[in-house]
Structure 1
């Protein structure tokens, strides 16, 4: 081997070693999270007077833990839905009420979390409050859990009414005694909502908006929420007094998976 060949070979070996060190020491690229389209907004930027109690950011829900994808306790909606909700709030404030949202946009990963939980029949930690009369094995069949949710399209939300002046809702303590969601209001978890006949996310037929067993003040509250929202383009899900979808939906066939956080909205807010 000539001196030149040895020199070339040495240079190639040194270059290869340098490249190997450079690649090995390069930081791993962070996985890029999906972002919301520009017409998704934080509700607080459209109407800061609407109360937000984002249940899936907390362990006070039927799963019993924070749900995947909820990085902040933030209501995110498509702008048309948020602006229509602002109009509803304006009308209700004149009558001595405020709206309170429990859930708004819901990423697909959160829905997947619900599905995974529902398939684990041994986990019934929150049954005593949210589905005391429902066999967990029937949650899919009875329509309480599904693999897709309208919430993931960005124009569906869960909400209630609160009488003004609004009293704060005390924090939920994991492990505290559970009371059925259809018990009398004074016995249920002390939500500051008006009495709707059941609590939020109550897996029971009493949650059907027009269930004939719900009468008096409870029915009047449900109808006030329903009539106010429906005149502004929202459609109620008959099985859940708290569930409304703004129509027409900007994204009727798209199920988004960006996280619930202000960072997801950098393009639109």
Structure 2
């Protein structure tokens, strides 16, 4: 079921945020552009939580960098085709919390302008991206802890398999939202695949 909710445009609401929408470029796990508009949107409840996280990051001399926020449901299908593993991509039949507008993917930039080392890149779908992976440096663990503290200060919770993903703790109670911008059609080979 989809409902209409007025989503918050993060570029307008938070000019201090850095927005690098990975799915509006080919720099993502699919290797092609999924979002045909580079609009970074979030449910108003999640935007309120983000406002607190943005301020906590500022107090620590850091800037949040947003990789993804609200996601069209068709985009979820593209991601599932690229990585059909529920450990990393929510099955299309269940719907992603991104498609509810209550999830956001982020990292941190320091005062010198460098991205903090998190041990892996965004969307690196393997065990090293798991929050407590033993295969990353102590500095990367420290940076992940800082990111988690900043996001938890706003009211978000993380997930164990992706250090960059945060969502409202009650996300499942929010309905899936109708698509606000378009995505490319799925590759023709998907017509025979069950989603």
Query: 1:260 Cα shift?
Result: 4.1
**Deviation string for 1:230-256 (max 9, x for gaps)?**
13210101100000002334x725222
Q: Which has the larger radius of gyration?
A: 1
SS of equivalent to 1:82:
helix
Query: 1:156 Cα shift?
Result: 0.2
| TM-score, scaled relative to structure 2 | 0.82
Query: 1:164 Cα shift?
Result: 1.9
The one of 33, 37, 40 aligned to 2:5: 37
Does structure 1 residue 256 correspond to structure 2 residue 182?
A: no
| TM-score, scaled relative to structure 1 | 0.61
The answer for the alignment partner of 2:14 in structure 1 is 47
The answer for the alignment partner of 1:161 in structure 2 is 108
**Aligned alpha-carbon RMSD (Å):** 2.1
Task: Check whether the contact 2:3–2:175 (CA below 8 A) recurs between aligned residues.
Answer: no
The answer for the alignment partner of 1:85 in structure 2 is 50
**Deviation string for 1:18-37 (max 9, x for gaps)?**
xxxxxxxxxxxxxxxx9951
Task: Check whether the contact 2:52–2:153 (CA below 8 A) recurs between aligned residues.
Answer: no
SS of equivalent to 1:242:
strand
Q: How many residues are aligned here? A: 178
Q: Which has the higher strand share?
A: 2
The answer for the alignment partner of 1:149 in structure 2 is 96
Query: 1:215 Cα shift?
Result: 3.5
Gaps of 5+ in 1: 1-33, 119-138, 167-191, 262-269
Task: Check whether the contact 2:88–2:162 (CA below 8 A) recurs between aligned residues.
Answer: no
Distance in 2 separating the partners of 1:204 and 1:57: 23
Gaps of 5+ in 2: 183-195
Does structure 1 residue 57 correspond to structure 2 residue 29?
A: no
